Amino acid sequence: MPIAQALANFRTKAAQCDALIANAHKADPAGVPFFSPIDREQITVAAFLNLFVAWEEFLEFTIANLLTGVPTLSGALPPKFASPPTADAARAMLIGVNRYFDYANHDFVQRVVPMYFQGGYPFQPHLRSISTDLADLRTMRNASAHLSSTTHSALEALAQRIFGTPQLGISLYTLLTRVDPRGGGGNTVFAEARDKLLVAAQLIATG
């Protein structure tokens, strides 16, 4: 089943990201880290980017295949307003006259799914429920891809909102690896984001 495979692929890639971060922070019996601070930072940020890309891939694959008439995991066939013959044709239809469709932009995705699926099913309300989290992920992704005064200011504002105090000069690595006080379970900011994406993916895939 294509949707089951898409969900399994996303879960596998999320687990790989976890493993990358865990391995980057391993130490010898004396407590000396195997990797230098800069290596730990770069590996962690790369793992975060991998997670973000894996989420984009899940959305692209799921939207395209559901448009061709593939059922969800529950067997439901989402009512749709278009019937492209193949997943590639569905992707081309979504791109339209643009160079690409930006699956990283949650606003674009949430606007387009109701155009092709009645009521946005099965993507809504699950995307809407994590829209703030998706916006935060995009802020972090922008900070990782091209650091500028604008992206860093947005990162500092995000960190202040998460931790409740000014976080001047905070790096993306520090933000990702600190405990997220909003979760209450001791997870890092990275782990909280990962779990929310995994739950959303499960709900979307199930239908």
What pLDDT, in 10s, does the model give residues 180-194?
A: 999 888 999 999 999
Segment 27-44 mean pLDDT: 96
What pLDDT, in 10s, does the model give residues 79-119?
A: 999 999 999 999 999 998 889 899 989 999 999 999 999 99
Instruction: Please give the pLDDT value at position 98.
Output: 87
Q: Containing domain of residue 75, as a range? A: 1-207
Single pTM value for the model = 0.94
Question: How many distinct structural domains can be found in the chain?
Answer: 1
Residues 11-20: contacts with CB within 8 Å, 24+ apart? Answer: 11/198, 11/201, 13/50, 13/51, 13/54, 14/51, 14/54, 14/194, 14/197, 14/198, 16/50, 17/47, 17/48, 17/50, 17/51, 17/54, 17/194, 18/47, 18/191, 18/194, 20/44, 20/46, 20/47, 20/50
